[in-house]
Amino acid sequence: MIYEPKCKIDIETASESKIGQVDFEHIEFGKIFTDHLFECDYKDGAWQTPKIRPYGPFSLDPGARVFHYGQAVFEGMKAYKDEQGGIWLFRPDENFRRINKSAKRLAIPDFPEDYFFEGMKTLLQLDSDWIKPGLDNSLYVRPYVIATEAAIAAAPSREYKFVIMCSPAKAYYSGEVRVVFEESFSRAADGGVGFAKAAGNYAAQFYPTELAGKKGFQQIIWTDANTHEYLEEAGTMNIFFRVGDKLITSPTNDRILDGVTRKSVIQLAEDMGIACEVRRIKVQEIKDAAKNGELKEIFGAGTAAVISPISGFGHGGDTFELKKLENSYASKFKSRLVGIQHNEGDDPHNWRYAVN
Ligand SMILES: *Cc1c(COP(=O)(O)O)cnc(C)c1O
């Protein structure tokens, strides 16, 4: 049974599924894609009738503006299946709001809400066999928009393509993650695009991250571009510090992405009676806390890894390793979040969104 979208979507289903060729026990993140793709083009001042079709390439004119000026934004979310076959999204309204906020900053037109939700729901039901039950499994959903007009003057495109593609994912245990607090490069500046999921933000992080990798750090914690004295976020995750029994995370602003996982952790901390301060965090404060043993945990929060514990950090030639903790806050937040996402446990804030 296929979901009946509440707006018009042209649907062409795949004649054959690729799912038989997939080894779901050994999936590399983001390398395998499901049978269908959602696409919607913008031209003549309007989003055209969306379509869902068999997954496969599309062709673009080499003059498409996205290739020249990077006019592109994206989102990252996940779909989950419970033991009864129910399909769920987690706070998708936040992702919908955010992609349009990102789009606005890059002069990309708003995408309609019904196309977003009806397109995603229909796509997820067509590819529902790709969503495996079990807390370790999910389907990563990647909506994005690119500027497609063939015109290489530096100006906003008059044509766009909105796409939703899906990729099965296992919970990933990234191993030990050690981070460096960045001292010279910057990810985002005041008045810039740091708050947006703009494609170029990620390209600009690869080189500094490679340099950090050569020094034994898997990721960078970005500091404020003006002084490099305040900790902001990781490249694809917001960041939390536990000092004593208290959590600290940086406030969001135009340099920091307003993560759904971050705001969920802040709410869960309140529910669990864990104090959480949202305020600027000095590099020196965290180094001092590490030296005097008060720094208990650092973890990242983002859709892909949910909660990602960080085992140590480097700054200014010093390195610090954190002791492994039983019953860490990181593990508590992770199991609570993953439970809610998979329709286990109560959902007091109505974060779950039923797809079928
Ligand atoms: C996507 C992203 C996050 C995490 O956001 P979620 O909504 O929790 O997935 C954090 N920082 C950056 C820079 C991101 O791109």
For residue 236, pLDDT over 70 is answered with yes
pLDDT, tens only, 278-313 = 999 999 999 999 999 999 999 999 999 999 999 999
> Which ligand 1 atom minimizes the distance to the CA of 76?
9
274 Cα–ligand 1 center, Å: 22
Which tokens hold the place of 28? 């590399």
Helix-strand-coil split of the chain, %, nearest 5 = 25, 30, 45
> How far is residue 120's CA from residue 52's CA, in Å, rounded to a whole number?
10
What is the number of structural domains in the chain? Answer: 2
The DSSP-derived string for 80-112 is EE-TTS-EEEESHHHHHHHHHHHHHHTTPPPPP
356, part of any domain: no
- Is residue 197 domain-shared with residue 142, that is, in the same domain? no
H/E run at residue 144: strand 137-147
pLDDT digits (tens, 9 = 90+) for 149-183: 999 999 999 999 999 999 999 987 767 899 999 99
| 355, part of any domain | no
1 pLDDT above the threshold of 60: no
Flag whether 269 is in a domain: yes
Average pLDDT, the chain: 96
d(CA 219, CA 234): 7
Based on the domain organization, do 69 and 145 belong to the same domain? yes
144 lies in a domain? yes
> CATH no. for residue 291?
3.20.10.10
Return the residue whose CA atom lies nearest to atom 5 of ligand 1: 259
Q: Which residue range(s) make up the domain with 77? A: 10-169
Residue with CA at minimum distance from ligand 1 atom 12: 236
Beta-carbon count within 10 A of 315 CB:
21
Specify if 192 maps to a domain: yes
For residues 102 and 194, membership in a common domain is answered with no
Atom of ligand 1 nearest to the CA of 264: 8
Indicate whether 348 belongs to any domain: no
Going by the DSSP 8-state scheme, the letter that residue 134 receives in this structure is S
Lining ligand 1 with CB less than 6 A are 76, 197, 233, 235-238, 257, 259-262, 301-303
Looking at the DSSP assignment, which residues form a beta bridge with residue 43?
46
SS3 76: coil
pLDDT attached to residue 95? 98
Residue 199 in this model has a pLDDT that exceeds 90: yes
Q: Is residue 1 part of a domain?
A: no
CA distance to 239, 279, 341, per residue, from 87 (Å): 29, 36, 10
Shared domain for 186 and 300, answered yes or no, is yes
Say yes or no: 60 and 207 in one domain: no
Predicted model pTM: 0.97
Distance CA 262, CA 308 (A): 12
Give the separation between CA 298 and CA 69, rounded to whole angstroms. Answer: 36
- CA distances 136 to 19, 22, 25, 178, 335, Å, are 18, 16, 10, 23, 11
In angstroms, rounded to a whole number, what is the distance separating the alpha carbons of residues 100 and 196? 9
Residues 213 and 335 in one domain: yes
Stated length of the chain: 356
Please compute the mean of the pLDDT values over residues 231-249 and round it to a whole number.
Answer: 97
Picking from 83, 80, 108, the residue whose alpha carbon sits closest to that of residue 92 is 80
Of the pLDDT bands very low, low, confident and very high (cuts 50, 70, 90), residue 2 is: low
Q: If pLDDT is split at 50, 70 and 90, which confidence band does 134 have? A: very high
* 99 has pLDDT over 60: yes
pLDDT digits 0-9 by tens, 27-61: 999 999 999 999 999 999 999 999 999 999 999 99
Q: Do 33 and 140 lie in a common domain?
A: yes
Using the 3D structure, point to which of 119, 142, 169 is the last residue of a domain.
169
Q: What are the Cα distances from residue 352, in Å, to 81, 268, 344?
A: 12, 14, 10
pLDDT tens digits, 332-351:
999 999 999 999 999 999 99
- Give me the residue label for tokens 């049974």: 1
Separation CA 336–CA 340 (nearest Å): 6
Q: Measure the CA–CA gap between 94 and 130, rounded to whole angstroms.
A: 24
User: 3-state SS string over 303-328?
Assistant: CCCEEEEECEEEECCEEEECCCCCCC
CA 305–ligand 1 middle distance (angstroms): 10
How many C-beta atoms lie closer than 10 Å to residue 243's C-beta? 20
Residue 204 and residue 186 in one domain? yes
Distance, in Å, from the CA atom of 194 to the CA atom of 328, rounded to the nearest integer, reads: 30
> What is the Å distance from ligand 1's center to 151 Cα?
31
Whether 150 and 198 share a structural domain: no
25 plus 144 within the same structural domain: yes
Of 138, 169, 200, which residue constitutes the final position of a domain? 169
pLDDT at 5: 87
- Whether residues 191 and 320 share a domain: the answer is yes
Q: Which of 96, 236, 256, 268 to mutate to test the pocket of ligand 1 (most atoms within 8 A of CB)?
A: 236
| 3 in a structural domain | no
Please tell me the distance from the alpha carbon of residue 58 to that of residue 161, in angstroms, as a whole number.
10
Residues 113 and 20 both lie in one domain:
yes
Q: What is the CATH number of the domain that holds 94?
A: 3.30.470.10
Q: Whose CA is nearest to atom 10 of ligand 1?
A: 237
Query: Which percentage of the chain shows pLDDT scores above 90?
Result: 96
Rounded Cα–Cα distance for residues 183 and 216 (Å): 16
Last residue of a domain, one of 143, 169, 195: 169
